[in-house]
């Protein structure tokens, strides 16, 4: 497949915990759970970015917004969008000939895929509408991570419509936060974040995803068009083949170094 058919860009200037070390050169088996811009851009970076020789995407789970268990009515899908937006990751997966799952994650079928077939070292989630059960969270040895639009303090605005919630609360800027997944919704341990980006008046979640995932400018470094998913996931995959340290800096400690 010609990667030029799926041009991507994203965010740079990320801040990371620095407790990880690189112990292995073996490709990490990665499962991506996502839809729309988030799932598409994470996949694009794993397949075509500098990580392509370090990871193997073994499976993809994506939303089917026609199904009630994806909670489409309270998520970004409630805003006006194109029908093609709903199938972006599904079509991308088909073009890559990668195993695809569109059903319930709380099912024996998905558990079997994860434990018997895909066997991921790492799971990355972006714009995915189902709550992940604990027994699935525990499968990947390197961790299960989610990308969530939030305020600069973590945790912030959990739930299906964080952009709408931030607008309601008068928040003027947001960040894209990468955090560990746990049984609570959007409440797991902070791992990384992008620079802050202004929320334009009147924009909805569809429009904001279109801003933040493809191209989020780095006002501090003066660069634009860099890759958010690449920077975040590169840091994770290049250094997390052995998650060694028992403790990590808190969000407040991280902010004090900004």
pLDDT of 253 strictly over 80: no
Residue 127, by phi and psi: left (phi above 0), alpha (psi -120 to 50) or beta? Answer: left
pLDDT of 12 strictly over 50: no
Q: Closest Cα to residue 19, out of 232, 251, 253, 249? A: 249
Q: Are 179 and 210 in contact (CB under 8 A)?
A: no
Query: What confidence tens digit (pLDDT) does each residue in 82-140 have?
Result: 999 999 999 999 999 999 999 999 999 999 999 999 999 999 999 999 999 999 999 99
**Whole-angstrom Cα Rg for the chain:** 17
**pLDDT value, residue 196:** 86
Query: What confidence tens digit (pLDDT) does each residue in 138-179 have?
Result: 999 989 999 999 998 899 999 888 998 999 999 999 988 889
How many Cβ atoms from other residues are within 10 Å of residue 115's Cβ? 13
**pLDDT value, residue 26:** 80
**pLDDT value, residue 84:** 93
Q: Are 19 and 10 in contact (CB under 8 A)?
A: no
**pLDDT value, residue 225:** 31
Query: What confidence tens digit (pLDDT) does each residue in 180-211 have?
Result: 999 888 989 988 888 888 999 999 999 999 88
Least confident of 70-74, 87-91, 241-245: 241-245
Largest alpha-carbon pair distance within the chain? 48
**Domain 7-256 class in CATH:** alpha beta
Q: Is the pTM of this model over 0.85?
A: no
Q: Are 244 and 21 in contact (CB under 8 A)?
A: yes
pLDDT band at 8 (very low <50, low <70, confident <90, very high): very low
Distance between CA 100 and CA 95 in Å, rounded? 11
Mean local confidence (pLDDT), 25-44: 90
**pLDDT value, residue 108:** 97
Query: What confidence tens digit (pLDDT) does each residue in 205-233 have?
Result: 999 998 888 754 332 333 333 355 455 55
pLDDT of 249 strictly over 60: no
Please list the residues that pair with 33 across neighbouring strands. 61, 125
- Crossing angle (nearest 10°) for helices 36-48 and 205-212: 20
Domain range summary for the chain, segments of one domain joined by +: 7-256
> For the residues of 118-147, what is the DSSP string, one character each?
I--SEEEEES--SPPPHHHHTS-TT-EEEE
How many Cβ atoms from other residues are within 10 Å of residue 251's Cβ? 18
Burial per residue of 236-250, b for 16 or more beta-carbon CB atoms within 10 angstroms, e otherwise? bbebbbebeeeebbe
Q: Are 49 and 230 in contact (CB under 8 A)?
A: yes
Residue with the bigger pLDDT between 113 and 54: it is 113
The residue with tokens 């995803």 is 209
Phi, psi (rounded to 5 degrees) for 140: -75, 130
**pLDDT value, residue 235:** 57
């Amino acid at each position: 497949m010609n990667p030029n058919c799926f041009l991507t860009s994203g965010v740079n200037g990320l801040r990371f915990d620095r407790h990880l070390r690189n112990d292995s050169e073996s490709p990490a088996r990665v499962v991506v759970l996502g839809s729309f811009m988030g799932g598409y851009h994470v996949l694009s970076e794993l397949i075509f970015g500098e990580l392509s020789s370090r990871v193997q995407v073994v499976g993809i789970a994506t939303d089917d917004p026609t199904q009630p268990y994806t909670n489409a009515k309270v998520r970004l899908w409630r805003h006006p969008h194109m029908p093609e937006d709903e199938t972006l990751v599904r079509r991308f997966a088909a073009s890559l000939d990668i195993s695809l799952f569109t059903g319930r994650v709380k099912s024996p079928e998905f558990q079997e895929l994860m434990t018997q077939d895909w066997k991921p070292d790492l799971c990355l989630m972006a714009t995915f509408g189902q709550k992940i059960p604990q027994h699935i969270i525990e499968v990947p040895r390197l961790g299960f991570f989610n990308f969530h639009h939030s305020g600069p303090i973590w945790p912030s605005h959990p739930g299906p419509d964080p952009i709408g919630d931030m607008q309601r609360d008068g928040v003027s800027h947001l960040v894209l936060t990468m955090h560990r997944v746990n049984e609570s919704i959007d409440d797991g341990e902070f791992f990384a974040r992008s620079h802050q980006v202004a929320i334009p008046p009147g924009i909805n979640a569809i429009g904001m995803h279109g801003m933040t995932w493809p191209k989020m400018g780095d006002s501090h470094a003066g660069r634009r068009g860099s890759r958010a998913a690449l920077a975040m996931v590169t840091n994770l995959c290049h250094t997390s083949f052995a998650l060694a340290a028992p403790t990590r800096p808190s969000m407040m400690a991280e902010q004090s170094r900004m």
